[in-house]
Amino acid sequence: MLELKDVSVVVTEDNKKLQILKDINLQLDKKKIYVMTGPNGGGKSSIAKTIMGIYQPAAGKILLDGEDITHKSITERAQLGIGYAFQQPPRFKGIRVRELLEIASGQELDAENCDILYDVGLCTKDYLDREINASFSGGELKRIEIATLLARKLKVAVFDEPEAGIDLWSFQQLTETFQQIHEKYETTLLIISHQERILRLAHEVIVIDQGRVSEITSRDKFLADLEKMDLDCRCRDDCIKGEPVNAECDR
């Protein structure tokens, strides 16, 4: 349903052009959960921003249900049913949580939207009429942003490190919420995460490294490989023993 075909993204920094995504090919099917992971700075958030239209590809195409949306604006993509929860959520100052959820869902708040606050671990009576301001913690903002995406019943929902800033107690509930929205609304979920518990939700795991798709694999294979991974660094052993550092060590 959502396809990225040979997508490259170039940004300009200090008057220099920097290619941050190279020939990205992804096919996200309806109703599936994808978890995107990989090293810091690999390009995961950039892919999310490209899907949302915040970054425009220098080359390649983006298709939604076969329709070319490469040149559609952020608003047009939102109307088509694509949503993105930022890694660092913006602060919508001077607006109440109730209003934000109403804008997101496009309707007056009903029992279902109250449930959505509960789903992200917030007590409705404490938050519904609270004005969003500087007093909100990072974790609270993150949950409210996740709730606005849940309210929209999207075709494709992209969550960028939803676990960041969320306490352990609510984290369990959040993983269950992802499972539920996927079942209830048939939303295709693309979750950027480094957490094993989130990886366990995935039908497929997409590994992004150095601006490229380095691997697309099943959850079971990914987790099995993770267990087998040799994380011992030989250079470190040499260093501890006071011996010359092994020049062939590549880690």
Ligand X SMILES: Nc1ncnc2c1ncn2[C@@H]1O[C@H](COP(=O)(O)OP(=O)(O)OP(=O)(O)O)[C@@H](O)[C@H]1O
Binding site for ligand X (CB under 6 A): 11, 13, 18, 20, 40-46, 87
User: Are 193 and 174 spatial neighbours (Cβ–Cβ below 8 Å)?
Assistant: no
89 binds, among Mg ion, ligand X, none (CB under 5 to 8 A by kind): none
Give the largest CA-CA distance in the chain.
Answer: 69
Output Rg (C-alpha) for the chain, integer angstroms: 20
45, 148, 175, 193: which one binds Mg ion (CB under 5 A): 45
Q: Which stretch binds Mg ion (CB under 5 A): 81-89, 130-138, 193-201, 233-241?
A: 81-89
Taking the complex as a whole, the smallest distance from the CB of residue 43 to ligand X amounts, in Å, to 4
CA distance readout (Å), 248 to 20, 26, 120, 206, 238 = 29, 35, 48, 29, 12
> Which residues, numbered 25-44, are part of the site for Mg ion (CB under 5 A)?
44
How many beta carbons lie within 10 A of that of residue 232, not counting itself?
A: 8
For CA atoms 168, 170, 172, 177, give the dihedral sign: negative
> Which residues, numbered 88-127, are part of the site for Mg ion (CB under 5 A)?
none
Taking the complex as a whole, the smallest distance from the CB of residue 80 to Mg ion amounts, in Å, to 24
Q: Which is nearer to ligand X, 45 or 113 (CB)?
A: 45
For CA atoms 90, 161, 2, 30, give the dihedral sign: negative
In degrees rounded to 5, what are phi and psi of residue 135?
-75, -10
Q: Which is nearer to ligand X, 45 or 148 (CB)?
A: 45
Dist CA 229 CA 2 (whole Å): 32
Q: Which is nearer to ligand X, 45 or 177 (CB)?
A: 45
13 binds, among ligand X, Mg ion, none (CB under 5 to 8 A by kind): ligand X
Taking the complex as a whole, the smallest distance from the CB of residue 233 to ligand X amounts, in Å, to 21
Residues that bind Mg ion (CB under 5 A): 44-45, 87
